[in-house]
Amino acid sequence: MTFLITGGAGYIGSHVVRAMVAAGEKVVVLDDLSTGNEDRVPEGVPLVIGSVLDRLVLDQTIREHKITGVVHLAGKKQVGESVEKPLYYYHENVEGLQVLLGAVAAAGIRNFLFSSSASVYGMPDVDLVTEQTPPAPLSPYGETKLAGEWLVRAAGKAHGIATACLRYFNVAGAATPELADTGVFNLVPMVFERYDRGEGARIFGDDYPTPDGTCIRDYIHVEDLAEAHVAAARKLAEWAGAGEYKDLTVNIGRGEGVSVREMVDLLGELTGHDQAPVVTPRRPGDPAKVVASADRIAAELGWKARHDVREMIVSAWAGWQANKSLVHHER
| Residues labelled catalytic | 141
Cα(197)–Cα(193) distance, integer angstroms: 7
Q: Identity (one letter) of the amino acid at 182?
A: T
Phi-psi region of 221 (alpha: psi -120 to 50; beta: other; left: phi over 0): beta
Cα(18)–Cα(118) distance, integer angstroms: 24
CA torsion sign for 49, 52, 54, 57 is positive
Cβ proximity of 96 and 146 under 8 Å: no
For every residue of 299-318, DSSP letters joined together read HHH-------HHHHHHHHHH
C-alpha neighbours within 13 Å on the C-beta side of residue 207: 5
- In Å, the largest CA–CA distance within the chain is 58
Cα(149)–Cα(242) distance, integer angstroms: 23
Question: E-assigned strands of 201-257?
Answer: 202-204, 216-217, 219-221, 247-252
What is the rounded (10 degree) CA torsion for 165, 221, 297, 132?
Answer: -60
Cα(240)–Cα(41) distance, integer angstroms: 28
Residue 117: its H or E element: strand 111-117
Query: Beta 162-168 vs 216-217: how paired, if at all?
Result: unpaired
The dihedrals phi and psi of 303, each to the nearest 5 degrees, come to: -100, 140
